[in-house]
Structure 1
């Protein structure tokens, strides 16, 4: 089963429609919503993991609705040589991808949980959190 990380951007006209429900029901996809900002009558954004054999067909459906779909090609990495395990990034990480490993008190990074919000990049005083394209 192929998995794709995508960013969806859609207008207010779609914000109140059951788009994710249709992806699951009509295309038999497994959807993991990593990050979302959806409000009625406003533009919305979502970061999703989409898994399933019909993922490409589901993405085509989104585009037909007028949803802008971008493949998530960037990733966040931790430069362990620069990291001093100060923990500044762990408090701000919304997904728990950055955490303090006890008892050695080392900052660890789980890239599978990362939603690529860039908050850690801004918060890190040592610039140990980096963006790769």
Structure 2
């Protein structure tokens, strides 16, 4: 069996937002869970963007779905226009995961798409609109 990795969006309805779903994914399905972004409120709807890794990835996702959690692939991505970017650094200050950073000593903005969680904060912060959402 091969170890699979996937970034997904988990949407929790109010009935299961306070249940230990992540605990079961780790314990019962031996999945490595990297929480990239989360907004979970007990007794209200919640959303998590996670990166899951493990041999039983599909079984773990099926378990989550069977508990009422909507599982969606993270199908959006952020792309950076090298031509438009003026390396002002406005996006680096707002990026919560460090996907945008200043390369030194050149002092140019660099983008690591693997770290990006598609929060879209950089698209709003960029004064020249060099950061765009691609579906």
**TM-based fold match above 0.5:** yes
Residue equivalent to 2:68: 66
Offset, 1:79: 1.2
| TM-score normalised by the chain length of structure 1 | 0.95
Offset, 1:76: 0.9
Aligned residues, how many?
133
Residue equivalent to 2:128: 126
RMSD over aligned CA atoms reads: 1.0
More helix by share: 1
Secondary structure of the structure 2 residue equivalent to 1:45: strand
Distance (whole Å) between structure 2 residues aligned to residue 53 and residue 75 of structure 1: 25
- 1:13 paired with 2:15, answer yes
Moved over 3 A (4+): none
Distance (whole Å) between structure 2 residues aligned to residue 2 and residue 84 of structure 1: 37
| TM-score normalised by the chain length of structure 2 | 0.94
- 1:101 paired with 2:103, answer yes
Greater mean alpha carbon deviation, residues 19-28 or residues 94-103:
94-103
Residue equivalent to 2:114: 112
Distance (whole Å) between structure 2 residues aligned to residue 5 and residue 113 of structure 1: 11
